[in-house]
């Protein structure tokens, strides 16, 4: 029973790592200060910034959208692969109901589901691990991960900060990506393009890791020393920065975003498509009778002698 539980934990934590870990680079502030300058299409930086600020406002007000995302990584064998995520999300409040699938779940070992449904609601993540999970856990197929409870259980302030910060960034808020792009010194207008059959304007820019840290409100919880250490670590690992592209339709709403990162170990590219802005995200938690608490499960396993090393 303990080994089966740990195997299932590996599956759901694989999904959590993708959602929480990758979402962190999609946060920003309300736009900050802008510098004038010419773009590739003859627009000044202020003109480009005005368009994206309008899109930021419109997107913030929409509060929800459908999302389709592909995450591609290359480099070491452990990191290479493709993940897909699709569903509905809201960012005021932060909610999510998506299905994830891809090569990353193979890392969880034999018996791992081909896809995992992930629900986020009221600061809690739920993961549907499928019928095999239900058979091994008395009909409980949903794993519940309360981020605050998990953070408190670690007793480590650094881990607590990471977990609670990850929760804040889990939803793929396109408004915050717009805000982050507005901080790029190389911001420019590429030109008009069609995306999913819709006319849109293409913008792009690059941020160094330090510029991303400075612009990202999530890192305000860290001291200057901690931020400096984070930047130094990233630079040592070969982090080149973030290349961001956004396509905005005639309604001032993003329809596509591409975020690319280059490191010494390899590259990562996230391509997101957004639609149906403003549609109410009616998301409900799964039935309590089909849910088991991940933090509580770990405590019980540890009390039975199956500690974290297991």
Name the DSSP class of 124: E
pLDDT at 177: 81
Q: Each residue of 119-172: pLDDT tens digit? A: 988 888 898 877 766 666 677 888 888 877 776 766 666 555 555 555 555 555
Q: Which residue in this structure is represented by tokens 């299932």? A: 8
SS3 130: coil
From the list 229, 228, 177, the residue with the least C-alpha distance to 203 is: 177
129: tokens are: 């691990």
213: tokens are: 């840290």
Q: Each residue of 27-71: pLDDT tens digit? A: 433 333 333 333 445 567 788 899 999 999 999 999 999 999 998
- CATH for 2-302, among 3.40.50.720, 3.40.50.10890, 1.25.50.10, 2.50.20.20? 2.50.20.20
268: tokens are: 């990562």
Q: How confident is the model at residue 237 (pLDDT cuts 50, 70, 90)?
A: low
133: tokens are: 């999970």
- In degrees to the nearest 10, what's the CA dihedral of 100, 247, 121, 180? 110
Q: What percentage of the chain has pLDDT greater than the value 70?
A: 63
* Alpha carbons 246 and 69: distance in angstroms, whole number: 14
217 pLDDT higher than 70? no
78 pLDDT higher than 70? no
The domain segmentation of the chain, as residue ranges, is 2-302
Q: How confident is the model at residue 211 (pLDDT cuts 50, 70, 90)?
A: confident
> With a threshold of 0.85, does the pTM exceed it?
no
N-terminal to C-terminal alpha carbon distance within the chain: 12
Q: Greatest CA span in the chain, whole angstroms?
A: 68
Beta bridge partners of 202: 191, 247
Q: Which residues contact 197 (CB under 8 A, 6 or more apart)?
A: none
Count of beta carbons in the 10 Å neighbourhood of residue 160 = 17
CA distances from 111 to 107, 138, 297 (A): 11, 17, 20
Q: Which helix (H) or strand (E) holds 246?
A: strand 241-249
Count of beta carbons in the 10 Å neighbourhood of residue 278 = 12
**DSSP string of 178-235?**
HHHHTT-TT-EEEEEEEETTEEEEEEEEEE-HHHHHHH-GGGGGS-HHHHHHHHHHHH
SS3 126: strand
């Amino acid at each position: 029973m303990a080994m089966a539980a740990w195997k299932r934990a590996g599956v759901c934590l694989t999904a959590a790592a993708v959602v929480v870990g990758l979402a962190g680079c999609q946060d920003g502030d309300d736009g900050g200060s802008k510098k004038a300058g010419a773009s590739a299409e003859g627009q000044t930086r202020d003109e480009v910034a005005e368009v994206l600020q309008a899109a930021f406002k419109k997107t913030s007000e929409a509060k929800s959208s459908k999302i389709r995302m592909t995450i591609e990584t290359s480099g070491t064998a452990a990191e290479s692969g493709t993940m897909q995520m699709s569903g509905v999300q809201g960012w005021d409040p932060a909610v999510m109901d998506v299905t994830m699938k891809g090569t990353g779940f193979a890392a969880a070992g034999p018996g791992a589901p081909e896809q995992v449904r992930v629900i986020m609601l009221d600061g809690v993540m739920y993961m549907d691990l499928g019928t095999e999970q239900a058979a091994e856990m008395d009909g409980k197929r949903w794993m519940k991960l309360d981020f605050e409870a998990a953070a408190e259980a670690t007793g480590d302030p650094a881990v607590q900060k990471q977990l609670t910060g990850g929760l804040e960034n889990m939803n793929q808020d396109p408004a915050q990506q717009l805000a982050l792009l507005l901080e790029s010194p190389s911001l420019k207008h590429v030109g008009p393009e069609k995306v999913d059959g819709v006319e849109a304007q293409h913008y792009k820019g690059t941020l160094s890791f330090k510029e991303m840290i400075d612009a990202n409100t999530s890192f305000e919880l860290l001291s200057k020393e901690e931020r400096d250490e984070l930047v130094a670590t990233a630079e040592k690992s070969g982090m080149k920065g973030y290349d961001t592209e956004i396509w905005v339709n005639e309604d001032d709403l993003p329809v596509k975003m591409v975020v690319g990162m280059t490191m010494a170990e390899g590259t990562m590219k996230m391509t997101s498509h957004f639609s149906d802005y403003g549609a109410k995200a009616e998301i409900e938690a799964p039935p309590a009778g089909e849910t088991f608490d991940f933090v509580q499960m770990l405590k019980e396993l540890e009390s039975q002698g199956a500690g974290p090393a297991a």
